[in-house]
Structure 1
Amino acid sequence: MALSSRIISVVAAATVAALTLSGCGSSDPFGSSASSDGGGSSIVVGSANFSESEIIARIYARALNDEGIRASVKANIGSREVYMKALEDGSIDMVPDYSGNLLQYYDADSTAVSENDVYKALGKALPDGVGVLDKAAAQDADSFYVTKKTSEDKGVRSLADLGRLGSHVKIAAPPEFAGRAYGPDGLKKHYGVDVTLVPVNDGGGAATVKALTDGSVQFVRLDSTSPLIAANDLVRLDDPEQLILAQNVVPVIASDRVNDKARAVIDRVQSALTTDDLMEMNARSANDKESAQRVAVDWLKKAR
């Protein structure tokens, strides 16, 4: 990963907008040569209750610490309903999220779909005191999958084909899926299919996939960067009605508790993070059982 060439524009902007960062002009932008915390207290970075979120949170915290900004991680807080409340009540100061889902959380009626439109709309939809930093190129979208056998035998390649599975179908997904814009109500509205949720509280993990492969459900919701997709030869269903919006990784912050120096550090992380990175890190976590901290540290070393 050639980080230096990918952050030139961000570094230039940060030089104007933020305090000067040690190492900004070097080939090691995350080098630890700073000694000040930038004038603020320790930053608590939260994460949702799945491994990718924790890995990104630990990347943020480690990058901040490497620049002399005290940071810690509060991992596996829960779903968006829980960690956004924690951000607003001061329990955490920053949390990684995904642009489209966060937009729909605050504005379910938004018509934005593309990366830039979603990002702009998100900035306007957030409550007072909450902001987002730069979006990453990295995306991880909620997506829907069937087994390869179901796809081939029933001709199901799109959400528009779900009716071929029957008038009423079951999906395995996290409990909070019930209230999402792309949940049962959204599927009914856009694709005319009645869906019953079979809640599986493992963040789209092995238990969710098992419900599909053992025939308990007809399709599942998984993160598009999950290594379980390829491992189980699952088929992603097209979404012609664009029920799922662009889902770029975005750092959500408490605006008054994250200063300019910290923001510039995180923006440079964002400029380097790719979808391929997410897939590689998730595979290490799921397949190799490596800790989120180890994976995060290795990513930062590679990004130098």
Structure 2
Amino acid sequence: MNRTHLAFVGAIAAAALAVTACGSSSSTGSAASSSSVSSAPAAGSPAPAAGGGSITIGSANFAESVLLMDVYAEALRAKGITVTTKPKIGAREVYIPAIKDGSIDLIPEYSGTLLAYVDTTSKAASSADIYAALPAVLKPSGLEVLAQSQAQDKDAIAVSAATAAKYSLKTIADLAAHAGSLIIGAGPEFKTRADGVAGLKSTYGVTFQTFKTLDSGGPLTVAALKNGQIDAADLFTTDPAVPAYKFVLLQDPKNLYTAQNVLPLISSKKVTPTITSALNAVSAKLDTATLTALDKQVYGGTDPDAVAKTWIKANGLG
């Protein structure tokens, strides 16, 4: 990624102050889309402890990722796994090395952007093709993905309704004739990622006058777009701010932003039948409408862990 907004301006402000925060917690307690990942522990993996083993789950530095981290955590605690959480550890450029070096063992991911990160040459765009391509490119790093959910949250280029009307914008391509006098805002990683500034130029011929570093689809970016400090933004398609502020998500006919199914990325050393079945059961219950509704609660000020616990219990997963 990573969302009615007028009702939670205070929550947004609080989130802005905490956008770089990092913490951890630990406790014991608490079949989706086709998966090509083995449900057995990887060769040489230690057997789970009597209480079910332990795992450290991280999240990226935006609210939806924290929510999904808590959902995974509650599902695993329900199966007797000892869980430590490390929220908001950073963008993909930070958390992929962290899972490789064992600082974390598991993180919620988005299939398309994950593939683009580990394989810059991939042309896969559909959910099925992206999912099929991931195991081979992740295996050399000792990583794998479990079953993907039907939930998708894609990056999108958003503009205000006024900007869309002024320049007759419907697709990203429509920006090409006007972007030279416009400002785009996004998280710092957007400036260098293949599906960020570079991708807009190579795919659509869109070059903005200025790139303004904000947060990754978070409250700073939303506020800047709402207040006219930027003209376009990289936002998430499940963000409640989009309908709340009547932002326009520009169509992406050339699939710069590919399918983005939510799925667990895990160190192969930590894969066990218990962990796999628990997380696959989560993916089986999670679709885009559900994720959007959960996001709305979080952005409305409800603690993500409380949202996760309620959802896990309501769906018979805890």
Q: For this structure pair, what is the TM-score category when the shorter chain's length is used for normalisation? A: 0.7 to 0.9
TM-score, structure 2 normalization: 0.82
1:95-110 maps to which residues of 2 (within 5 A)?
A: 95-110=107-122
Aligned-partner Cα distance in 2 for 1:269–1:114: 22
Q: CA deviation at 1:260?
A: 2.0
Q: 1:66 to 1:218 in 2, by over 3 A?
A: same
Match of 1:64 among 60, 65, 76: 76
Aligned-partner Cα distance in 1 for 2:201–2:158: 17
Q: 1:18 to 1:193 in 2, by over 3 A?
A: closer
Q: CA deviation at 1:166?
A: 4.4
Name the counterpart of 2:271.
Answer: 258
2:212 maps to a residue whose letter is V
Name the counterpart of 2:5.
Answer: none
Aligned identity (percent) is 39
1:159 maps to a residue whose letter is I
Match of 1:197 among 179, 201, 211: 211
Secondary structure in structure 2 of the residue aligned to 1:252: strand
Kindly report the root-mean-square deviation, in angstroms, between the aligned alpha carbons of the 2 structures.
2.1
Q: 1:170 to 1:43 in 2, by over 3 A?
A: same
Name the counterpart of 2:191.
Answer: 178
Q: CA deviation at 1:101?
A: 0.5
Q: Does 1:75 align with 2:110?
A: no
Q: CA deviation at 1:181?
A: 1.5
Q: CA deviation at 1:70?
A: 1.6
Q: 1:18 to 1:254 in 2, by over 3 A?
A: closer
1:212 maps to a residue whose letter is L
Aligned-partner Cα distance in 2 for 1:213–1:75: 27
Retained in 1: the 8 A contact 2:115–2:130? yes
Aligned-partner Cα distance in 2 for 1:286–1:62: 20
Match of 2:239 among 218, 226, 238: 226
Bigger mean CA offset, 163-172 vs 104-113: 163-172
1:252 maps to a residue whose letter is L
Q: Does 1:125 align with 2:133?
A: no
Aligned-partner Cα distance in 1 for 2:40–2:278: 10
TM-score, structure 1 normalization: 0.85
Aligned-partner Cα distance in 2 for 1:9–1:216: 41
For residues 208-247 of structure 1, the C-alpha deviation after alignment (integer angstroms, 9 at most, x for no partner) is 1222233222210101111111111001100011100100
Aligned-partner Cα distance in 1 for 2:186–2:166: 23
1:280-295 maps to which residues of 2 (within 5 A)?
A: 280-287=293-300, 289-295=301-307
Retained in 1: the 8 A contact 2:100–2:141? no
Q: Which runs of 5+ in 2 are unaligned?
A: 1-30, 42-48
Match of 1:90 among 80, 102, 117: 102
For residues 12-62 of structure 1, the C-alpha deviation after alignment (integer angstroms, 9 at most, x for no partner) is x99x9559xxxxxxxxxxxxxxx9434x3x111111111111111111111
Q: CA deviation at 1:182?
A: 1.4
Secondary structure in structure 2 of the residue aligned to 1:167: helix
1:5-20 maps to which residues of 2 (within 5 A)?
A: 7=31, 17=39
Q: CA deviation at 1:178?
A: 1.0
Q: Which runs of 5+ in 1 are unaligned?
A: 1-6, 20-34
Name the counterpart of 2:12.
Answer: none
Aligned-partner Cα distance in 2 for 1:58–1:211: 28
Q: Does 1:47 align with 2:59?
A: yes
